[in-house]
């Protein structure tokens, strides 16, 4: 993949903090693939494995390394094409940490204290409320602004991060003149937020203590179908999308993503049928949709040398792009050139 200044740039990524769920796939990665395939001739695509963000929560080092490589393989198995997109690991590009510190100094305490994710993670990790957990939005802003990203594909829960990134970039530009492109969020209408199968008012999470609450990308078909059969719904028996039917709405969203059917088509398909038939159909559609991804992932992980070599090459490409922005920032804030 060759980076062109003449093209607009799209950037996104995920943390390698555990086995990805269908929420990660349907809410993010699948949309990246569609964007890549539709627009690679007019846009630069950069997709990053955010391993530096992962350590705000304690990690087992060997597991973090393994999951980082696995996440790269998942991206590719889902359809991220290294000929069309620059796929790289965050910690392989030192400029992320370097710009992150600079932006720390242009991010207000009040802005950080209002971040929803900080409040959520602090509650879950009361014994490790570290500074990185509090200031990570500045690093996330650096991830985006380093590459002058025009568009950032995000789910509903990530929109707040784009908003603070825009605030930081606008503040810096007001002080030092035009330095950063102000990024825009890109959100799809369907599947942006896939919810827990057991608590359908909450986002599906790979860290959920209830194994029946989420479907992992590499669950076996029998396990996938079983989880959907146990999904929480309501006392009604009609498959329809409506307020107050959070469980059914979530299942309809998942089924729509895997089949391409509209909610109206789904309602007609299951008219006169019960929830049992619908849950089974959703489970089978999900398992069938994941099967080719699982097969391609196994093929890629069998050749780790190829993956590691590609990442070394891509780290150099990403570093070259990032260095241009970092040099401009360093000069503007008054750092002495080496």
Average pLDDT (144-148) is: 97
Rg (CA), the chain: 21
C-alpha 46/C-alpha 122 separation (Å) is 30
C-alpha 7/C-alpha 156 separation (Å) is 26
Give the residue range(s) of CATH 1.10.240.10 domains in the chain: 221-298
Tell me how far apart the terminal alpha carbons of the chain are, to the nearest angstrom: 30
CA angle 82, 88, 92 (to 5 degrees): 150
- Which residues are identified as catalytic? 121, 203, 206
C-alpha 101/C-alpha 99 separation (Å) is 5
Kindly give the pairing relationship between strand 86-89 and strand 43-49.
Answer: parallel
C-alpha 220/C-alpha 249 separation (Å) is 24
pLDDT digits (tens, 9 = 90+) for 167-219: 999 999 999 999 999 999 887 655 568 999 999 999 998 888 899 999 999 99
pLDDT digits (tens, 9 = 90+) for 283-315: 999 999 999 999 999 999 999 999 999 999 999
Structure tokens at 322: 């990032």
**How are strands ordered across the β-sheet holding 8-14?**
86-89, 43-49, 8-14, 151-153, 184-186
pLDDT digits (tens, 9 = 90+) for 88-118: 999 999 999 999 999 999 999 989 888 877 7
pLDDT digits (tens, 9 = 90+) for 232-258: 999 888 999 998 899 999 999 999 999
Give the residue range(s) of CATH 3.40.50.620 domains in the chain: 8-186+304-333
Q: Which residue has the tokens 């146990």?
A: 230
The whole-number pLDDT of residue 189 equals 57
C-alpha 78/C-alpha 76 separation (Å) is 5
Q: C-alpha distances in angstroms, 1 versus 34, 41, 119, 188, 222?
A: 17, 11, 38, 25, 38
Percent of the chain with pLDDT over 90: 72
C-alpha 241/C-alpha 247 separation (Å) is 10
Q: Which residue has the tokens 């006169």?
A: 272
* CATH assignment of 8-186+304-333, among 3.40.50.620, 3.90.550.10, 2.40.10.340, 3.40.50.10860: 3.40.50.620
Provide the 10 A C-beta neighbour count for residue 55.
Answer: 17
Structure tokens at 314: 């891509």
Q: Which residue has the tokens 């991830």?
A: 143
For residue 217, the SS3 value is coil
For residue 44, the SS3 value is strand
Choose among 319, 228, 239, 330: nearest CA to 281.
228
Please provide the CATH number assigned to the domain covering 221-298: 1.10.240.10
For residue 45, the SS3 value is strand
Q: C-alpha distances in angstroms, 220 versus 95, 287, 292?
A: 40, 8, 12
Choose among 324, 295, 337, 297: nearest CA to 69.
297
For residue 13, the SS3 value is strand
C-alpha 50/C-alpha 324 separation (Å) is 21
pLDDT at 121 over 80: no
C-alpha 202/C-alpha 208 separation (Å) is 11
The whole-number pLDDT of residue 53 equals 93
């Amino acid at each position: 993949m060759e980076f062109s200044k003449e093209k607009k740039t799209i950037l996104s990524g995920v943390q390698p903090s555990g086995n990805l769920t269908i929420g990660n796939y349907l809410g993010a990665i699948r949309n990246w693939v569609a964007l890549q395939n539709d627009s690679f001739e007019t846009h630069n695509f950069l997709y990053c494995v955010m391993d530096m963000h992962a350590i705000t929560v304690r990690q087992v080092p060997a597991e973090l390394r393994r999951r980082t490589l696995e996440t790269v393989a998942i991206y590719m198995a889902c359809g991220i094409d290294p000929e069309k997109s620059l796929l790289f690991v965050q910690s392989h590009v030192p400029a992320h940490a370097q710009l992150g510190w600079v932006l720390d100094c242009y991010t207000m305490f009040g802005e950080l204290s209002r971040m929803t994710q900080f409040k959520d993670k602090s509650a879950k990790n009361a014994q490790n409320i570290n500074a990185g957990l509090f200031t990570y939005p500045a690093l996330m802003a650096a991830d985006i602004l380093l590459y002058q990203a025009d568009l950032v594909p995000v789910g509903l829960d990530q929109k707040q991060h784009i908003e603070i990134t825009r605030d930081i970039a606008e503040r810096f530009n007001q002080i030092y003149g035009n330095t950063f492109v102000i990024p825009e969020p890109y959100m799809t209408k369907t599947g942006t937020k896939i919810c827990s199968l057991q608590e359908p008012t909450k986002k599906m999470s790979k860290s959920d203590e209830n194994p029946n609450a989420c479907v992992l990308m590499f669950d076996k078909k029998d396990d996938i179908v079983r989880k959907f059969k146990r999904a929480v719904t309501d006392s009604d028996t009609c498959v329809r999308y409506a307020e107050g039917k959070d469980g059914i709405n979530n299942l309809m969203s998942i089924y729509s993503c895997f089949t391409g059917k509209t909610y109206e088509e789904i309602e007609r398909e299951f008219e006169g049928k019960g929830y049992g038939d619908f849950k089974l159909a959703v489970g089978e559609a999900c398992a069938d949709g994941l099967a080719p991804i699982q097969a391609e992932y196994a093929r890629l992980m069998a050749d780790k040398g190829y993956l590691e070599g590609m990442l070394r090459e891509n780290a150099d490409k990403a570093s070259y792009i990032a260095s241009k922005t970092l040099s401009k920032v360093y000069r503007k804030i008054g750092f002495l050139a080496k």
